[in-house]
Structure 1
Amino acid sequence: MKARMKRGFSLLLAGVMSAALLASCAGGGGKPAADNGGGQTNQGSANDTKATGKKTDINIWLWDVSDSRKKYYEEFTKLYPQYNVVLTSVQAKDMAQKLQTALASGADLPDIAWLEQTYRGKLLSLNIWEDLSKPPYNLDKSQVLDYLIPLETTESGVYVGPEAPSVAGMAYKRALTKKYFGTDDPAALQKIFTDWDTFIEKGKEVKQKSNGSVYMFASLGDAYQFLKGQSSTPFINGNKLNFDQGVAPILQKLVEMKQAGIIDTIDSASPAEGTSYTDETHIFYPCANWSVDFTIKANDKNGIGRWGFMIPPGGPFPYGGTVQGVPAKAKNKEGAAALINFFFMTQKGSELARDQKGNFSPYKPVYDIPNFYSHKDEYFAGQDVMKAFETEIFPNIKSVRLPSKYDQDIDDAMNVAIQTINASDNGNVAVADLVSKMENDIMTKQPDIEK
């Protein structure tokens, strides 16, 4: 899922989404009907559709046009037959350019656009979005998980829309942890790996015991995902770089891991790293809620019983996520808001996201329902990973780094720095030099940025 859902969290505030939202969003007038928990209101409008046969399109630009996604949206049109959902494939990296081109040429904009986490800062900065928390949509932000709100709001205060929260812990291969650390129990492993310095020291022991053939991580990129996600220190303040405080500590820890020889030289997200999920050479991996199905099971098809899940050193962290935004110049904003509300702000929509896509919901009230998220997973030797995410990962998200329109340029520069560390002779590279090069690369691309 790449970045699909691919993320503290103030849980368990009960409440119900304003019924007026669905009444207005369904395209009807008059007194709103009550929400029955499935998000279905304004039945008169649906009956009118049956009589006339007319439907209104909701056009969505997104990167997932799979059959499962189409079936997912069909559940909405069953309850709202006045709408027809039309999907247009747009890669996450192309979304900003495609939206800007449509605006410049006067072409139609989508009714909903996906703002994937990696490119979200740039997309939020476009200043083209409806505020779904304001009339006529009135999405109740108080019912959205608290840690998500800053990630879904523009610098000018526009609340663009909700997302399926994406957060991560750490997956591990049970046989390897038992062999090298004496246990495959997540609670016991969490007591061993109290911080990243301890992780490095334990990695040195693994290196010695295995004669250098077994690694803690397959790639430096995996280690970076943990360290980046666990820090909320901004990389940039306004247009001023903050690399000494935000970037340098992360690079320093990566250099220490490289010097210790505990990380393999595989490129992150490469086919080789995909293959590493099946071997007995690499122990730990970042594991978001979406990773269980779309990374671990997809790569290790015969891995039943092989995996475990734990809180990593440094704690859980946001990892991925895709905001659903409605452009102000969209043709069917009301229908778009109705769809977003149904899937992200009702119990029925939350159940569909859980059962059909394996996603968690941003809707607070479902976390008040006992065992709403619970499934013993045979891949994880019967461990209830979904429950672990709900009770151990989400509540312990400490902080988030706010999105910036420069995020992609920073990511590109960071990738070069990681490749430099990876190619170095046993980590023989100065962090100050890496930071300086990153700063120069960013300022070359973005002349308005200052040190």
Structure 2
Amino acid sequence: MKKNYLKKFALLTLSTIMATSMITGCGSSTATKTDSSSKTEATGAAKAPVDYKGTIKVWSWNTELKDLGIIAKFNKAYPNIKVQLVSIPNDNSAYTTKISSTMSAGVGGPDVFLAESAYVKKFTNTDYYEDLSKAPYSAEKLTSKMVPYTVDLGRNEADKSIRALTWQATPGGFFYKRSIAKQYLGTDDPAAIEKMMTTTEDFIKLGQTLKTKSAGKVKLLAGYNELVNVAIGSRTKGWVKDGKLVIDAKMMTYLDQAAQIRKEGLDAKFNQWTPAWTGSMSDKTTFGYMLPTWGLAFVLGVDAPKETGNYGFVKAPTPYYWGGTWLGISKNSTEKDNSWQFVKYLTTNTDFMEAQAKDKGDFMNNVDVQAKLSSSDAGNNAYLKGQNVYKVYTELVKGVNGKLFTEYDDTINTAWNKEVDLLILGKTASKDAFLKKFKADVVNAYPDLKVD
């Protein structure tokens, strides 16, 4: 999930919030199951779940596992494994620094620790995590039902072993206000809106149409940078290849489109995660937002709860993903067996996954669960006026290419966005000057990378 954003909604009563945004069709028979036998896990356990005893320490940068009821569900199946959740906020990289220093020391620390998509590769490419491909874990046997990109991001680049797994997938799309679509486009039907934005060029034309028909009142986006994740997802080359910085042509196209959106007045000039940005989710002038799966329940559902029924969801011009949480077993753990039960339960137990999807609206990393919810009313979403969001998510996630992402991405993406803002705001004179500054930022962060 978006780093640090859970701080905001962790303080809220999630059960109340989810009443408007959770997936409907919640049946008590699934939500109350606690069986974690071999029929619901990809591999059978050597002993019954109740026979596992001990305490495991789990480190995270937030309290997501507690707030979303994940630990509670695990403890219904494994009542004798106590989970001690330690939250270390990642402000100024405090969490990642703590993990690195603790793991480098070689002793102590967590039994299981979590990693966000932004830096999961930094951890999986070290020996901080156990090699889950090897016995007794044999995780390769568990991945056939998982979304491929999620497995790719959890692999060590050198030996291709699995070091971390995730229970969720986070493809992104476009959430739009039906009321604006109906008034200025003549329809609020997701199928019709999707046809209007099959390419980023079409998407910008849609913004121009909204501007013209509303006499400039309606903005396509809150901010031009809503498109950056779409651009990143559209690449054919990652940021780093063979130790060299690579700037995919799609990123330069994004640069031009961002400038066009701002120049033509198609965005509201709001920065993401600011009060103005979240406030615009309830206004009558901002058309929509590029957000991933978790954006439905934990952004729109939190910041615009009264907009229930006023939003629709469609594919973005290009598949992309944003966020997600991976977990693995610390090499220093003295509770590896119990830790593996925790990791395995969260990432393979279909009873847990169905309950989590229905209770909290999470998009689960299991193709069978995805198929079940996307083909029935169980995938319908009240916040989206009954639209089967699982069906759209299931199609979106097929286009995400996890092989594009590297351990350098978080830092390079941050540098890119910073320099783009300076260019758009006129503080950088030209694209050539922009590229020079961006490359200098990369060299400063990673002196060993080759930069032309």
- For this structure pair, what is the TM-score category when the shorter chain's length is used for normalisation? 0.7 to 0.9
How far apart, CA to CA, are the structure 1 residues paired with 2:376 and 2:134?
30
Among residues 396, 413, 416, which one is paired with 1:411 in the alignment? Answer: 413
Among residues 260, 264, 267, which one is paired with 2:268 in the alignment? Answer: 264
What amino acid is aligned across from residue 283 of structure 1 in structure 2? F
Among residues 54, 57, 62, which one is paired with 1:56 in the alignment? Answer: 54
2:389 corresponding residue in structure 1: 385
Q: Detail structure 1 runs of 4+ shifted over 6 Å in the superposition.
A: none
Among residues 143, 146, 150, which one is paired with 1:144 in the alignment? Answer: 146
How far apart, CA to CA, are the structure 1 residues paired with 2:404 and 2:188?
35
Among residues 77, 81, 84, which one is paired with 1:83 in the alignment? Answer: 81
Contact 1:37 1:347 in 2 (8 A): yes
Contact 2:238 2:405 in 1 (8 A): no
- Measured after TM superposition, the shift of residue 374 of structure 1 is 2.9
Among residues 35, 40, 50, which one is paired with 2:38 in the alignment? Answer: 35
- Measured after TM superposition, the shift of residue 246 of structure 1 is 5.9
Task: Using structure 2 for the length normalisation, give the TM-score.
Answer: 0.83
How far apart, CA to CA, are the structure 1 residues paired with 2:304 and 2:78?
39
- Measured after TM superposition, the shift of residue 107 of structure 1 is 4.6
- Measured after TM superposition, the shift of residue 231 of structure 1 is 2.5
Contact 2:172 2:322 in 1 (8 A): yes
Q: How does 1:192-207 map to 2 (within 5 A)?
A: 192-207=196-211
Long gaps (5+) in structure 1: 7-32, 50-54
How far apart, CA to CA, are the structure 1 residues paired with 2:392 and 2:228?
23
Contact 2:312 2:387 in 1 (8 A): yes
Task: Using structure 1 for the length normalisation, give the TM-score.
Answer: 0.84
Long gaps (5+) in structure 2: 7-35
How far apart, CA to CA, are the structure 2 residues paired with 1:246 and 1:209?
30
How far apart, CA to CA, are the structure 2 residues paired with 1:444 and 1:44?
52
Contact 2:106 2:332 in 1 (8 A): no
1:240 corresponding residue in structure 2: 244
Cα-to-partner distance string for 1:118-153 (whole Å, 9 max, x where unaligned):
122322233322121220111223332223222111
Q: 1:67 to 1:113 in 2, by over 3 A?
A: closer
- Measured after TM superposition, the shift of residue 204 of structure 1 is 2.0
How far apart, CA to CA, are the structure 2 residues paired with 1:203 and 1:75?
44
2:346 corresponding residue in structure 1: 343
Q: How does 1:90-109 map to 2 (within 5 A)?
A: 90-92=88-90, 93-109=93-109
How far apart, CA to CA, are the structure 1 residues paired with 2:239 and 2:156?
17
State the secondary structure of the residue aligned to 1:261.
coil
How far apart, CA to CA, are the structure 2 residues paired with 1:325 and 1:43?
21
How far apart, CA to CA, are the structure 1 residues paired with 2:146 and 2:206?
39
1:216 corresponding residue in structure 2: 220
- Measured after TM superposition, the shift of residue 208 of structure 1 is 2.8
State the secondary structure of the residue aligned to 2:313.
strand
Contact 1:5 1:166 in 2 (8 A): no
How far apart, CA to CA, are the structure 1 residues paired with 2:64 and 2:128?
27
Contact 1:235 1:247 in 2 (8 A): no
- Measured after TM superposition, the shift of residue 5 of structure 1 is 12
Q: 1:87 to 1:68 in 2, by over 3 A?
A: closer
1:323 corresponding residue in structure 2: 326
1:430 corresponding residue in structure 2: 430
- Measured after TM superposition, the shift of residue 363 of structure 1 is 2.7
Contact 1:374 1:387 in 2 (8 A): no
- Measured after TM superposition, the shift of residue 58 of structure 1 is 1.3
Among residues 215, 224, 230, which one is paired with 1:226 in the alignment? Answer: 230
What amino acid is aligned across from residue 416 of structure 1 in structure 2? K
Q: 1:441 to 1:373 in 2, by over 3 A?
A: farther
Q: 1:113 to 1:342 in 2, by over 3 A?
A: same
Q: Answer yes or no: is 1:356 the counterpart of 2:356.
A: no
How far apart, CA to CA, are the structure 1 residues paired with 2:205 and 2:365?
38
What amino acid is aligned across from residue 349 of structure 2 in structure 1? T
How far apart, CA to CA, are the structure 1 residues paired with 2:337 and 2:370?
28
- Measured after TM superposition, the shift of residue 354 of structure 1 is 1.3
Among residues 49, 71, 74, which one is paired with 1:73 in the alignment? Answer: 71
Cα-to-partner distance string for 1:17-76 (whole Å, 9 max, x where unaligned):
xxxxxxxxxxxxxxxx961326884556735x7xxxxx4111111133258537421222
State the secondary structure of the residue aligned to 2:404.
coil
2:443 corresponding residue in structure 1: 443
What amino acid is aligned across from residue 369 of structure 2 in structure 1? V
CA RMSD of aligned residues (A): 2.7
What amino acid is aligned across from residue 382 of structure 1 in structure 2? G
State the secondary structure of the residue aligned to 1:58.
strand
Cα-to-partner distance string for 1:221-260 (whole Å, 9 max, x where unaligned):
2121222223242112132111254632332222232233
Contact 1:243 1:435 in 2 (8 A): no
- Measured after TM superposition, the shift of residue 203 of structure 1 is 1.5
Between the two proteins, the alignment pairs up a number of residues equal to 414
What amino acid is aligned across from residue 215 of structure 1 in structure 2? K
2:290 corresponding residue in structure 1: 286
Q: 1:91 to 1:82 in 2, by over 3 A?
A: same
What amino acid is aligned across from residue 142 of structure 1 in structure 2? S
Cα-to-partner distance string for 1:260-296 (whole Å, 9 max, x where unaligned):
3212211122121011101011102113111111011
2:25 corresponding residue in structure 1: none
How far apart, CA to CA, are the structure 1 residues paired with 2:64 and 2:409?
28
Q: 1:372 to 1:192 in 2, by over 3 A?
A: closer
- Measured after TM superposition, the shift of residue 383 of structure 1 is 1.5
How far apart, CA to CA, are the structure 1 residues paired with 2:39 and 2:313?
37
Contact 1:150 1:402 in 2 (8 A): no
How far apart, CA to CA, are the structure 1 residues paired with 2:387 and 2:68?
31
